[in-house]
Amino acid sequence: MHGSCPQKHVQSTKFDGSLSTRPEENFRPRLFGEVAKIVWAKPDTVIATIAGVSDRAARDYLNGKVPTPSVVLVALMHEIVKRN
């Protein structure tokens, strides 16, 4: 029977928008830096080479001060998958 469900199994939930009003609690920008430091021996040098930026800019990516470019995120994911 399509669409039939006993009422006792249906729960009503209300979305209060808390995910969109407090993004700082849902996202950890420093997580990238923590993972990159585990994967690469010298993450700032590797990131600088991949992104074509200075070592200082790469350190800003690692510290979460500046959003990390997608090309660097893809390279990190590739390195993680390659190791498995």
Question: CA–CA separation, 67 vs 83, rounded Å?
Answer: 25
* Residue of 5 and 68 predicted with greater confidence: 68
Residue keyed to tokens 């990159």:
36
With bands split at pLDDT 50, 70 and 90, how would you rate the model's confidence at 2?
A: low
Return d(Cα 35, Cα 5) in angstroms, integer. Answer: 44
pTM above 0.75, yes or no: no
pLDDT in tens, 22-64: 444 445 667 888 888 988 889 999 999 998 999 999 999 888 8
